[in-house]
């Protein structure tokens, strides 16, 4: 493709065309299934369920055979292997390490194929939108190929073109994997090595999402909003008028690798903002760039630009809250609470008991290796991965999204360390968490809300105290009454302790709320004064009760 000749302006505008269906025919599935079975058999897939799985040499041999089989099966299976390398919860460590070495060895599209793909999406000749498209691809992958180009108005862009056969090939392979998962669902020996149903579900969801480039465009715009408060972090502009499910046109970011960024204030600011932004992406927004390797981060105009949003991670609010507790516990080096935070993250059977002392001891062994280290020395992702491994040993299974989060944090940490190796990751986390929690409070606090929450606390404490009295026989109709001969005053002591506990909790909570409210410019002074007065009154009542009972 060369520069287009000068031509009169055209009235035609690019138009979007619906993508045709690419459901594979039964004959195609059969032929592909035979091919897959042949390759897998040649690489010894039957051996996966035999022998000692705990033997490192055996596991490494199986992993290498699995990688070689995926490589031989072509680009689609190579892509599947790369995605699987982000899921240590589905595969043993040796498999993950081997799959990380997979490469998408694909033959680039020809110029004619690129032109046809571009014009099919635009609905007009490519010259109507572009002045020039570079014939040499910047990158060629399983799903798409990327070229530099220049729009008619002179803007420099990159054009991501989907391979014409990508959807058909991936769809047929996913259908076959689904059938394979159904056949192996009851094979416990096989599932000890690979959780095929979970693997298939994860791959299907991820690959189908990647096949629609409008999802990537939406991801970019969502990340633009999240990064708006960071002056050194940006994403490329998306040219929506030229973008559809199979064509994505974005601003061309012609920067350098992060490690080539010039020394100076801008570099250190960008490193800190990158680190903090990931805490915000993961803990506050529940939406993060899941593949921040060096090729997807560029230094351009004194800033970091995130590229390639085909793979993102998403966390629901419950998981974010649990992760927030875990990061705070790590920040405070509170191992027992780290154990409790991990349990709150897990989806374990409530009837399954966990030896908390042994669990906390194993976790402490991990944390001792990471305490008081700089960002260059500490590895956040591997730390989370080690915590996941120890949890599995204690039959505490963490959600799949933890693995993707750990991998993204590991890649991000390496990038930030290249820019500023002196950063303290947990120090930045602590500063962010303090601002985040206080900010959340300031946004949500209101006089009515405070009174409502105080009333809820009072009501719940009242019910707790009544239940306590009922349990000890002090309330009419109590289900359980306990009498101790010679210790008649025990019940009075317990009721008195319960009452003092309730009063102290209300006093502490009210005074703390008043103190935090006093720092906000959105809360009227009378609310702070009322809270302090109520808290003080409860504190005085507690003191009086203690003195009176002496």
Domain ranges of the chain: 26-104+166-210, 257-443, 445-548
- The first and second tokens of residue 290, run together, are 């899941």
Which range, of 1-10, 75-84, 385-394, 444-453, averages the lowest pLDDT? 1-10
For residue 7, what pLDDT is reported?
Answer: 41
Residue 1: pLDDT band (50, 70, 90) is: low
Residue 87: pLDDT band (50, 70, 90) is: low
Q: What number is the average pLDDT over the span 332-360? A: 78
Residue-wise pLDDT for 287-306, tens only, equals 999 889 888 999 999 999 99
Residue 209, pLDDT > 80, answer yes
Residue-wise pLDDT for 474-530, tens only, equals 444 444 444 444 445 555 655 666 566 666 666 666 666 666 555 555 556 655 666
For residue 481, what pLDDT is reported?
Answer: 44
Which range, of 129-143, 243-257, 343-357, averages the lowest pLDDT? 343-357
More reliable by pLDDT, 348 or 249:
249
Residue 179, pLDDT > 60, answer yes
CA distance 465 to 500: 10
CA distance 210 to 200: 15
What proportion of the chain, given as a percentage, has pLDDT over 70? Answer: 61
Residue 326, pLDDT > 70, answer yes
Name the β-bridge partners of 129: none
Q: What number is the average pLDDT over the span 135-159? A: 93
Buried b (16+ CB within 10 A) or exposed e, 112-134: eebbebbbbbbeebbbbbbebbe
Residue 392, pLDDT > 70, answer yes
- Which are the contacts of 134, defined by CB distance < 8 A and separation ≥ 6? 1, 147, 148, 149
- Cβ(427)–Cβ(504) below 8 Å: no
Contacts 24+ apart (CB under 8 A), 296-300: 297/257, 297/258, 297/415, 298/253, 298/255, 298/256, 298/257, 298/258, 299/255, 299/256, 299/257, 299/258, 299/260, 299/261, 299/270, 300/253, 300/254, 300/255, 300/256
Residue 405: pLDDT band (50, 70, 90) is: confident
More reliable by pLDDT, 528 or 7:
528
Residue 548 burial (CB count, 10 A): 7
Q: What is the pTM of this model?
A: 0.68
For residue 189, what pLDDT is reported?
Answer: 54
For residue 78, what pLDDT is reported?
Answer: 79
Residue 183, pLDDT > 60, answer yes
Which range, of 22-31, 139-148, 156-165, 259-268, averages the lowest pLDDT? 22-31
For residue 543, what pLDDT is reported?
Answer: 64
């Amino acid at each position: 493709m060369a520069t287009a000749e000068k031509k009169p302006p055209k009235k035609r505008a690019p138009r979007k065309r619906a993508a045709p269906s690419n459901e594979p025919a039964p004959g195609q599935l059969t032929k592909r299934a035979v091919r897959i079975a042949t390759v897998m058999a040649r690489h010894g897939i039957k051996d996966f369920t035999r022998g000692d799985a705990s033997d490192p040499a055996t596991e490494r041999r199986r992993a290498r055979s699995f990688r070689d089989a995926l490589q031989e099966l072509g680009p689609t299976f190579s892509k599947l292997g790369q995605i699987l390398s982000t899921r240590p919860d589905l595969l043993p460590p040796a498999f993950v390490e081997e799959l990380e070495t997979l490469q998408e060895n694909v033959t680039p599209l020809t110029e004619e194929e690129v032109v046809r793909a571009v014009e099919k999406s635009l609905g007009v000749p490519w010259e109507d939108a572009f002045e020039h498209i570079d014939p040499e691809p910047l990158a060629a992958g399983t799903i798409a190929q990327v070229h530099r180009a220049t729009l008619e108005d002179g803007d420099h862009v990159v054009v991501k073109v989907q391979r014409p056969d990508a959807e058909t090939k991936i769809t047929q392979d996913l259908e076959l994997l689904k059938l394979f998962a159904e056949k192996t669902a009851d094979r416990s020996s096989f599932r000890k090595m690979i959780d095929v149903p979970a693997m298939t579900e994860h791959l299907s969801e991820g690959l189908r999402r990647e096949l629609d480039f409008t999802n990537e465009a939406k991801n970019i715009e969502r990340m633009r909003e999240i990064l708006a408060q960071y002056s050194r972090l940006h994403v490329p502009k998306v040219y929506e008028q030229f973008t559809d499910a199979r064509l994505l046109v974005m601003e061309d970011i012609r920067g350098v690798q992060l490690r080539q960024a010039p020394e100076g204030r801008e570099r250190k600011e960008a490193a800190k903002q990158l680190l903090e932004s990931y805490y915000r992406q993961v803990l506050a927004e529940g939406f993060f760039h899941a593949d921040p390797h060096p090729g997807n981060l560029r230094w351009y105009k004194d800033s970091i630009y995130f590229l390639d949003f085909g793979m993102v991670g998403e966390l629901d609010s419950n998981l974010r809250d649990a992760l927030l507790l875990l990061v705070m516990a790590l920040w405070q080096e509170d191992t027992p609470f780290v154990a409790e935070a991990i349990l709150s993250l897990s989806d374990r059977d409530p009837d399954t008991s966990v030896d908390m002392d042994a669990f906390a001891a194993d976790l402490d062994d991990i944390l001792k290796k990471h305490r008081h280290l700089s960002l260059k020395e500490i590895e956040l992702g591997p730390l989370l991965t080690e915590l996941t491994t120890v949890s599995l040993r204690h039959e505490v299974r963490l959600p799949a999204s933890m693995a993707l989060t750990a991998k993204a944090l590991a890649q991000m940490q390496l990038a930030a360390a290249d820019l500023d190796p002196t950063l303290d990751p947990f120090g930045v986390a602590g500063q962010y968490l303090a601002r985040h929690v206080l900010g959340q409070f300031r946004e949500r606090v209101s006089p009515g809300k405070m009174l409502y929450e105080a009333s809820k606390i009072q009501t719940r404490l009242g019910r707790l105290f009544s239940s306590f009295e009922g349990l000890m026989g002090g309330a009419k109709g109590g289900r359980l009454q306990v009498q101790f001969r010679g210790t008649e005053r025990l019940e009075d002591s317990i009721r008195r302790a319960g009452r003092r506990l309730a009063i102290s909790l209300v006093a502490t909570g009210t005074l703390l709320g008043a103190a935090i409210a006093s720092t906000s410019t959105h809360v009227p002074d009378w609310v702070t004064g009322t809270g302090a007065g109520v808290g003080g009154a409860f504190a005085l009542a507690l003191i009086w009760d203690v003195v009176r009972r002496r």
